Structure 1
């Protein structure tokens, strides 16, 4: 079942956690993905916060599967910055396989950040952000035609 950003923004924390946990890692993606920050799941503020972040901050990620890297697209113009290593590994959330987006060796700004993603539908990934080992927020990545609701 495909998921839109709007559907994911409407989910509760528990629904997002369950979806992440039941989903396979999938293949390491390649190319440009639109991102949606899911900051306050289950609240009426979630969509508003996601829109503000998209306008002024984080737009998404661009993956290079062959090199095992990505860059984040940030700022209003979508500047490529903040590099991460990308590889499959064990999730800090549930010890199952996931795709790890590891900033610890590639970024001074984000060295405490580790993202984990799993494929929830073709072209769509759900992620969890960790600060050190503490889970913070969810986000989604949509590639190609699945970019927007």
Structure 2
């Protein structure tokens, strides 16, 4: 595991982080943050040539564990896309997740705030044997970045759908006795498992210096539990979705979604049980299991040692 850890002593870190560290899973996505997280960024301008080199960014502006715990789904929306990219580039993949995660997409500052998959797909969806208006296809697309269930040992993932009514009204749910819908129960709620995907370590399409965890829907039709509708919408005959995620801190992942290798939207995933269980150790050491290749550049993780007085 190629992580260098610089431990610094900071009085009062526990008090500064108490708000972030005690939120519930639901509140995590609904916080009333009103400003961007106070994190250092490299200078940049609008032109591509002005964008910082990620290796230099890592060296000059390493993220401390306290910095990482400042990040929430809400305050990420106060950053522009370049700043979100700079955060992502300073993360490692972390461990491949296991079990259920809550999820949501977010739009950075300056974005329209709407997901328009149908516009990006263009004529690529004309071959689908389904008569669905573009706006409704966008609603279907948003389901892919909500709750997920990771099957780490099988290297598989399925998306959790709480309400099938929208998909059924659009005629996008095939159900029969020979292929019944699979479901799970999370927090006392029954949820349907759809849109299966492969799970593996692979090259990031943003930052090739180190691997990310890849969620790949391309060959969804070859995976257990596949049903033609609605699952093909995420596969190579539909949106051709490929997600990649990196760990912000244990239990919390920042993701980037691509459609046919074109960047579409940012999203986040969160598991409160994992976050609570691993928090103290990660705050002390800044270290965590790395399942994917961490690259040749040694990443500096600045850990905060909690002190009394």
Q: Same fold (TM over 0.5)?
A: yes
Query: In the alignment, which of 110, 114, 136 is matched to residue 234 of structure 2?
Result: 110
Structure 1 residues not aligned, in runs of 5+ = none
The structure in which a higher percent of residues are strand is: 1
Alpha-carbon distance in structure 1 between the residues aligned to 2:253 and 2:76? 11
Corresponding residue of 2:159: 72
Q: After alignment, is 111-120 or 74-83 more displaced?
A: 74-83
- Contact 1:29–1:63, Cα closer than 8 Å, also in 2: yes
Q: 1:81-109: CA deviations, max 9, x gaps?
A: 10111000111122131000000011522
Partner-residue secondary structure (3-state), 2:95: coil
Q: 1:86-97 counterparts in 2 under 5 A?
A: 86-95=199-208, 96-97=210-211
Instruction: Give 1:15 shift.
Output: 1.7
Find the aligned partners of 2:191 and 2:151 in 1 and give their Cα distance.
17
Tell me which residue corresponds to 1:84: 197
More helix by share: 2
Q: Is the 8 A contact 2:213 2:245 kept in 1?
A: yes
In structure 2, which of residues 91, 100, 107 is the aligned counterpart of residue 23 of structure 1? 91
- Report the 3-state secondary structure (helix = DSSP H, G, I; strand = E; otherwise coil) of the residue aligned with 2:270: strand
- Residues 1:37 and 2:105 are matched in the alignment: yes
CA contact (8 A) 1:59 1:75 kept: no
TM-score with structure 2 length normalisation? 0.41
In structure 2, distance between residues paired with 1:119 and 1:33: 13
Using the TM superposition, give the Cα deviation of residue 78 of structure 1 relative to its aligned residue in structure 2, in angstroms.
4.0
Q: Distance in 2 between matches of 1:75 and 1:136?
A: 23
Cα separation, 1, equivalents of 2:146 and 2:269: 10
Q: 1:12 to 1:78 in 2, by over 3 A?
A: farther
Return 5+ residue gaps in structure 2 as ranges.
1-67, 116-138, 164-189, 222-231, 277-309
Could you say which structure has the larger radius of gyration?
Answer: 2
Return the alpha-carbon distance in structure 2 between the equivalents of residues 125 and 59 of structure 1.
13
